[in-house]
Structure 1
Amino acid sequence: MRHLFALLFCLTLPSAWAEMTLTVFDQDNLPVSDAVVMVSNNAVRTPNTVAVMDQIDESFVPRVLVVQKGQYVSFPNSDDIRHHVYSFSQPKTFEIKLYKGTEVAPILFDKAGLVVLGCNIHDDMIGYIIVADNTFALKTDQDGKVRIPAKSGDTVSLWSERFIEGVNAVKKIAITSNIEQSISLELLPPIGMMDHSNMDKGFGKKKWSK
């Protein structure tokens, strides 16, 4: 009987943790990838795994990394040349001087917020680490979609490096459906079309809010 109750409990979990799909488009009706959606009323634990921010072809990979407060991040350099990674962001100011390979120990990210990464050797290398405050946070995929534990009436936070207001801006989005919802935002051009003055607008300044 105890096993039966356990089975019934497991079968009821999906309804308790129902998800809806949020799709983000820009003003040209193109999907917006790598936008981060945060659901503040859905607490999560800090993963035991070490997140990875690699360096490949003189780029941070992934360009946008989402971690939880208290999580470690490894910074391997898979290029044949050395990089000099740094951040001036208040949630995590650090510097990894010229190195390559995996010779650097993982770094602890213990404060929530946006960490903007750069390379002191290659000015066009820009990356972002979103440190969530132990709340659900996930990126949109190439189709601009993300599945989140939210329902109609909830409010979620949305971040994108393409915000006209700068990379430190966070916008509130009202959820109006329990199943699927699309939103359209006025954004800067896709990353490949941006100039560097727009890409690092607000670089290192603290305007992050929950």
Structure 2
Amino acid sequence: MRYILILMCSFALQNAWAELTLTILDQDNMPVQDAVVIVANSSVVTPDTVAIMDQIDESFVPRVLVVQKGQSVAFPNSDDIRHHVYSFSKPKVFEIKLYKGTEIDPILFDKPGLIVLGCNIHDDMIGYIIVADNTFAVKTDKEGKARLPVKQGDTVSVWSERMLDGVSATLDLEITDDSQQTVALELLPPIEPMGSMYSGFGKSKWSK
């Protein structure tokens, strides 16, 4: 009897939570790196660590950064040249002048949404900060893969700067497997480091 109860409990736990590998490809069957997958109805505590958005070789590094609401981000400048970083995005409008060796206080991101970063000095610099609303959010790796705490029937939202409807658009996906799932999306061509080409905005789930 005890053995049966243990099996029943184990089965219940497996159905309550599972880890799935989601692979995102584009229409050419190529992996989509730096897509952000957000798990609906999940709960994540805001980390007490400061995230980093650096400037290296006239680029934001990483190009896409995922943080939680209430988390701060530091903007060190690892280049030997001046940068002037700004955001006009509704969740966080700010402007900071960066110089090599100058300490800049971290910026608090207290509202969820998409933050598009630019540089007033280098027009082709672009970066993104996704501020999750204390829900599980993760980027896909070079193989287009992300490991998610989901089970069959759950819904996730996917963001990519290559979305056809604009950089602020998201797509809802239903999880149809309990271990691995592959989806192919119709996307814009792979992004080259020319951010000004993708400044348009489409329908968005980020705005509240």
What TM-score, normalized to structure 1? Answer: 0.88
Label 1:75 to 1:209 Cα distance change in 2 as closer, same or farther (>3 A).
Answer: same
Alignment match, 2:191 = 191
Identity of aligned residues (%): 71
1:200 corresponds to 2:199: yes
Distance 1:177 1:209, change over 3 A: farther
Instruction: Give the 5 Å matches for 1:74-153.
Output: 74-153=74-153
Gaps of 5+ in 1: 1-11
Structure-2 separation of matches of 1:105 and 1:13? 44
1:83 counterpart letter in structure 2: H
Deviations 1:28-77 (A, max 9, x none): 00000000000021100000000000000000000000000000000000
Q: Which runs of 5+ in 2 are unaligned?
A: 1-11
1:195: how far off?
5.6
- TM-score norm. by structure 2 comes to 0.88
The answer to whether the Cα contact below 8 Å between 1:153 and 1:175 also exists between their aligned partners in 2 is yes
Confirm whether residue 55 of structure 1 aligns to residue 63 of structure 2.
no
Report the alpha carbon displacement of residue 18 of structure 1 after superposing the two structures with TM.
1.9
CA separation in 2, counterparts of 1:179 and 1:40?
A: 18
Runs of 4+ in 1 over 3 A off after TM superposition: 12-17, 194-198
Q: 1:82-134: CA deviations, max 9, x gaps?
A: 10000000100000024233510000000000000000000000000000000
| RMSD of equivalent CA atoms | 2.3
What is the Cα deviation at residue 199 of structure 1? 2.1
Aligned to 2:39: 39
| CA distance 1:13–1:152, shift in 2 (3 Å) | closer
Deviation at 1:198? 3.6
What are the superposed Cα offsets for residues 2-51 of structure 1, whole Å, 9 maximum, x if unpaired? xxxxxxxxxx9888642000000000000000000000211000000000
- Quote the Cα distance in structure 2 between the aligned partners of 1:88 and 1:199: 15
- The change in CA–CA distance for 1:89 and 1:208 in structure 2 (over 3 A counts) is same
- Aligned partner letter, 1:103: E
SS in 1 for 2:41: strand
